[in-house]
Copies of this chain bind each other. A is one copy, B any other.
Amino acid sequence: MILTVTLNTALDITYRVPSLRPHSSHRVSEVTERPGGKGVNVARVLAALGHEVTVTGFAGGPTGREVHERLTGTPKVTDALVTVAGTTRRTVAVVDAGSGDTTQLNEPGPQISPDEWSAFQDVYADLLSSASAVALCGSLPPGVPVGAYAQLVRAARAAQVPVLLDTAGEALRRGIAARPDLIKPNADELAELTGAHEPLRAAQDARRRGARAVVASLGPDGLLAATPDGLWRAAPPARVQGNPAGAGDSAVAGLLSGLVEQLPWPDRLTRAVALSTATVLAPAAGEFDRAAYEDLLGRVAVTGEVTAA
């Protein structure tokens, strides 16, 4: 199975309103809920691609119970979230029905105790023994040490399980030093990490900092990959309109499934771009449009790049 780690899981709530007007009252016409946090989203896409996935991380309180209940109903997904005393955060996305524009409200995560963090590490070590790959995704809830991802990367490498790290800020900076197999920053995260604003230069710098491969997401322009096997750019056939929420998580699922299936890099990148573009095109945030995905697989352009460095 593929393992995904979401230390800061969420109950993602979407509200549809005619138009959000600050300081007034709104009747919500439509409410949708689903378990969230980046690693949970990655797991859902991996399962839709036919992979067995195990989800771990933390969940607690009434919202944590809902996350557990809804994961249990998802085919090919195994729930191995560790129960904690705190309450799993909610995120609320308020979507204007007319424009589709989204206003996001994110609760802070629960406080994790040292004992809970320690219990998680034991569960994680057990799960690694049957994992073909692991993705470490998203922000750290309060109480988890900032070097957490470095510890989890080292444990995966010791267990000889390929490890992808998708986070930002100091958690990324510390995690990369432990030499993950792959990181997938966006352009802003990469610039924050390296100080370089030119993505190719920044990706190569990130490799020097410890990442074996770097796939940078360039938003609507696709992906840029700096790997031991070469440099590539992968782009969708045209820019698309839609909701970019979850597109990055779909790209991670594409890269991870391609790694496990031992696809060559250009095929992994094609899959990642097709999935993330098909996610932007889907009406529901974080879902992907399967027909669009299959169509896009034949239309993503991957080009090798000659580096000046």
Binding site for B on A (CB under 8 A): 13, 15, 17, 20-29, 31, 62-63, 65-66, 90, 92, 94, 96, 101-108
Question: Which of A27, A105, A108 counts the most B-chain CB atoms under 10 A from its CB?
Answer: A105
Q: How many copies does the complex hold?
A: 2
Chain B residues lying within 8 Å of A102, measured Cβ to Cβ, are 23
The interface residues of chain B lying within 8 Å CB-to-CB of A104 are 24-26
Q: Nearest Cβ in chain B — how far from A171, in angstroms?
A: 16
Q: Do residues A105 and B62 form an inter-chain contact, with CB atoms below 8 A?
A: no
- Give the Cβ gap from A67 to chain B, nearest Cβ, in Å: 10
Among residues of B, the one whose C-beta sits closest to the C-beta of A100 is B23
Chain B residues with CB under 8 Å of A108's CB are 27-29, 31
Whether A22 lies near B22 (C-beta < 8 A) is yes
- CB–CB A23/B101 < 8 A: yes
Contact partner of A20 (CB less than 8 A), chosen from B17, B22, B107, is B22
A106: contacting residue among B26, B63, B90, CB under 8 A: B26
Please, could you name 18 A-B residue pairs with CB atoms under 8 Å apart, sorted by A? A13-B90, A15-B105, A17-B105, A20-B23, A22-B22, A22-B101, A23-B103, A24-B104, A25-B103, A26-B105, A27-B106, A27-B108, A28-B105, A29-B108, A31-B108, A62-B65, A62-B66, A92-B105
Residues of B near A90 (CB, < 8 A) are 13
Bound-state CA distance A66–B26 (Å) is 23
**Known contacts A66-B62, A92-B92: A28-B101 contact under CB 8 Å:** no
Residue of B nearest to A24 (CB): B103
Contact of A25 with B106 in the complex, beta carbons under 8 Å: yes
By a CB distance below 8 angstroms, the chain B residues around A29 are 108
